[in-house]
Amino acid sequence: MFGRGNMQRLRRGIGLWLFALSILTSLPLFLFAAYSINELAHTQKLSVIAELVQRTEATANAVQQRLASIQGSLNSLATSDAALKGDLPTLYEHARRIVQANPETRAISLVTPDYKLAFLTLRPFGEAGIIAGDLDAVRQVFNTGKPAVSGPFKSPLGDNIITTVGVPVFVNGKVAYCLRMVLLTSTLNDLLAAQKLPEDWTSGIVDGHGMILARSRSQELYVGKEASSAVVSAVRAKTHEVFDSITRDGIPSTGFVVQVPSWDWFVAISVPQASLNATLNRYMTILLLVGLIIMLTGTTAAFLLARHIKRQIENVARAAQALHLGESPIASKSPIHELHEIVQTFGVVAEREERAKLALLNAKAQHEQVATDLESAKRDALTGLPARTLFLEMVEGLRQAVAAQGGRKLALLYIDLDGFKAVNDSLGHEQGDRVLVQTADILRSLTRESDVAARLGGDEFVVCLTAVEEHIAQTAVSVAERVVEQVGEIGLGIGCSIGISVWSEKCPDLACAMRRADEAMYEAKRQGKNRYVVYGAGRKTDGTDWKPLAPPECNAPSNG
């Protein structure tokens, strides 16, 4: 129960209440603003992702247009009279003119079916002995008769990383040569740069195996190497979904991959996740700052208002104090209508109070008596069992009934739960309460209507049994055995220790019987818990006799 000191600590000034009110009224607005900002940031994130998809597709189309232009130039060579007649020197000169007119083109080569170069515009015509690079793309042209692009590979004439676009040259309906345009990967890097993506975005072109052909960032480190695992997986699966990944630079990002139409190249673009969340972080920071300003303003206003209201309430309190002391309350005006009405009403109340005082005192005395009687008769709120006071009254009535009948005796079972504190500490008081209720139910089920079971407090229970004199001890032991057994079935490590005391001529009153039962209960705990001990008949676990101490008002019992 709360004491006066506890109640004083629970009371708070009007200023604190008004401050709490200002917080409560501002909180829904603050939460709504947070929700709105989160939704706005989410919408912004979706907008960025939509832009990512759109820019990736646009870049793939730009690459496709460049490849289509290259293919057109190569096709014009492949279908020229020189190519169809096998006039390779003339075809070589045509190719050189195309390279000279196209600065972005590194060279044009003609590959024979044995994968040797018939010519390379970087070398004089007729110079032999050079083997074509990236034979997979060359084989694809000879096998399919269709254009093909290669992956990145090191130039046989230098340290540059190059790639090629090849088309077939048909002679008499068969693929006689593979005509290839050699491109420096820096040309593709320039193509990516021309897309003017945001600075923190990363774009790249990869082949069908996931090898990097071009990159908008750190080209010298990663061109010619495998892309990130997420990009490689997307390329192989030819997925068309946004995915999360970590770039080769180690930046957590959200990416998207699109295949270049009609070609086995892919464009991959990624946006740093920090950039996606930047809007949310920025708005949340603004919300926090604005929220702090609003809170400070509200607190200041609440403080000033509270001080004003406090003065008005103090006036009412003084009027109430005067009324309490039997003096005439001083009427004062207040700008707060309700307080003003209260002060004005005090004058009327003062006139009636004198007449009602005596009646109120009598009513108060009667109320306190009724409250005392009701409190004494209350049962334990949790278990429904009688509390200590009611138990004592019921046992006294039972004792008088047994004395009047003759030939019967009473026995007390003092029950203390084992392991209850551990349950409370580890599983919480709610679980502890359930254990107490289960224990109470067990006691009800094992006692008769003529018996009395009660909860003394905490995890202590007591049962008063009545039986014929010859069987009282046996009855008490039988009930104790079943209580120990059924309480142990509650689980959670719960058990109980029970002390049994049979009322006798040497211990005829309830206080003495309670002390004996309590002492026997502690002996049960000393012997290992989860058992019962009959006062004066127990033995220690080591075989020595247990001789209980004699209660102050009782003679010491014999051990036997």
pLDDT of 147? 95
Task: Calculate the average pLDDT of the chain.
Answer: 81
**How many angstroms separate the CA atoms of 16 and 460, rounded?**
42
Q: Which of 86-100, 269-283, 423-437, 444-458 has the lowest mean pLDDT?
A: 269-283
Burial (Cβ within 10 Å: 0-12, 13-18, ≥19) of residue 177: buried
The verdict on 412 and 473 lying in the same domain is: yes
Mean pLDDT of 66-95: 91
Pairing label, strands 495-502, 408-418: antiparallel
Token pair of 199 as six digits: 């600075």
Q: How confident is the model at residue 472 (pLDDT cuts 50, 70, 90)?
A: confident
Q: What is the biggest distance separating any 2 CA atoms in the chain, rounded to whole angstroms?
A: 140
Other CB atoms within 10 Å distance of the CB of residue 247 = 22
In this predicted model, which residue has the larger pLDDT, 222 or 373? 222
Determine the pLDDT at residue 469. Answer: 83
Q: Is residue 541 part of a domain?
A: no
Give the range among 15-29, 378-392, 393-407, 512-526 with minimum mean pLDDT. 15-29
CB count within 10 Å of CB 226 equals: 14
For residue 202, what pLDDT band results from cuts at 50, 70 and 90? very high
In this structure, the answer to whether residues 512 and 522 fall within a common structural domain is yes
Task: Show which of 238, 257, 278 is a domain's final residue.
Answer: 278
Measured in degrees and rounded to the nearest 5, phi and psi for residue 242 equal: -70, 140
pLDDT at position 146 over 80: yes
Residues 399 and 269 in one domain: no
What pTM did the predictor assign?
Answer: 0.50
Same domain, 202 and 242: yes
Are residue 112 and residue 225 in the same domain, yes or no?
no
Give yes or no for residue 119 having a pLDDT over 70: yes
Domain match, 426 and 528 both:
yes
The share of the chain scoring above pLDDT 90, in percent, equals 28
pLDDT at 356 (0 to 100): 54
Same domain, 177 and 206: no
Is residue 265 pLDDT above 90, yes or no? yes
Both tokens of residue 96?
A: 């050189």
192 within some domain: yes
Please tell me the least confidently modeled range out of 53-57, 187-191, 235-239, 315-319. Answer: 315-319
Query: Is 400 in the same domain as 456?
Result: yes
**pLDDT at residue 542, as a whole number:** 38
Residue 233 included in any domain: yes
Looking at the structure, do residues 309 and 226 belong to the same domain, yes or no?
Answer: no
Q: Of the ranges 349-353, 360-364, 371-375, 434-438, which is most confident? A: 434-438
361 token code pair = 């005192």
Q: Which of 182, 211, 240 is the last residue of a domain?
A: 182
Q: Is residue 380 part of a domain?
A: no
- What CATH number does residue 136 fall under? 3.30.450.20
Question: For position 336, what pLDDT does the model report?
Answer: 79
Judge whether 60 lies within some domain.
Answer: no
User: The domain that contains 422 carries what CATH number?
Assistant: 3.30.70.270
Residue 139 lies in a domain: yes
Question: Does 105 have pLDDT greater than 80?
Answer: yes
Beta strand ranges found along 13-116 (DSSP E): 105-111
| Higher local confidence (pLDDT), 533 or 551 | 533
pLDDT cut 70: percent of the chain above it: 78
Residue where a domain terminates, one of 240, 262, 278: 278
More confident residue, 237 or 363: 237
Query: What pairing do the DSSP bridges indicate for beta strands 532-534 and 495-502?
Result: parallel
Query: Average pLDDT for residues 223-240, to the nearest whole number?
Result: 88
Residue range(s) defining the domain that contains residue 80: 67-182
Q: Which residue has the higher pLDDT, 549 or 133?
A: 133
Answer yes or no: do 393 and 519 share one domain.
yes
pLDDT, position 477: 93
pLDDT number for residue 539: 43
pLDDT the model gives residue 293 = 82
Task: State residue 541's pLDDT score.
Answer: 36
Q: Are residues 528 and 393 in the same domain?
A: yes
pLDDT value at residue 68: 92
pLDDT of the residue at 373: 59
Residue 304, in any domain of the structure: yes
Same domain, 449 and 339: no
367 assigned to some structural domain: yes
> pLDDT band for position 59 (50/70/90)?
very high
Which helix H or strand E contains 368, and what residues bound it?
A: helix 337-377
Number of domains, the chain: 4
398-430: pLDDT as tens digits: 888 888 887 888 889 999 999 888 889 898 889
